[in-house]
Amino acid sequence: MKKRTVILIFIIMSLSITIYYYFALFGHKRVHKFEVVDFSVSKKDSLIPYINKGYSTQIIKINGNVDDTIRIKGFYGNSIYLTGNIDKEYYIEYYGGTPAFMSFEPYKAKKGKLKIKHIIK
């Protein structure tokens, strides 16, 4: 009975320490959410990483619909053009150190509704 108790305490402490270090190193992310309903203006967003934290991915999620083409920038200078009903997720390598940027431009679109989520983790 005593040996079981010691083993159980050891397992619980090991799991607790593992979970603590996991969240200390990787349990952080920055998220900005915004909705686009005014297609007369562009929107820019930047996420500033926490110092000394490990990042690996920048994610841009776009949901909604537009009447014509929009442009999303944030892919190392490259643009993505989207139109119609949109339900897309883009994953880009990102390692922190500098802010992560993305921008929305209405391009040819005049109306619609979009939800955009910009994430670094």
Domains of the chain: 29-120 (2.60.120.510)
The reported pTM is 0.78
In which band, very low, low, confident or very high, does the pLDDT at 1 lie, cut at 50, 70 and 90?
low
Residue 3 has pLDDT above 70, yes or no: yes
Give the percent of the chain with pLDDT over 70.
Answer: 95
* Phi, psi of 26, deg, nearest 5: -125, -5
pLDDT at 25: 67
Residue that wins the pLDDT comparison between 104 and 54? 104
- Mean pLDDT value across the chain: 91
* Phi, psi of 60, deg, nearest 5: -125, 115
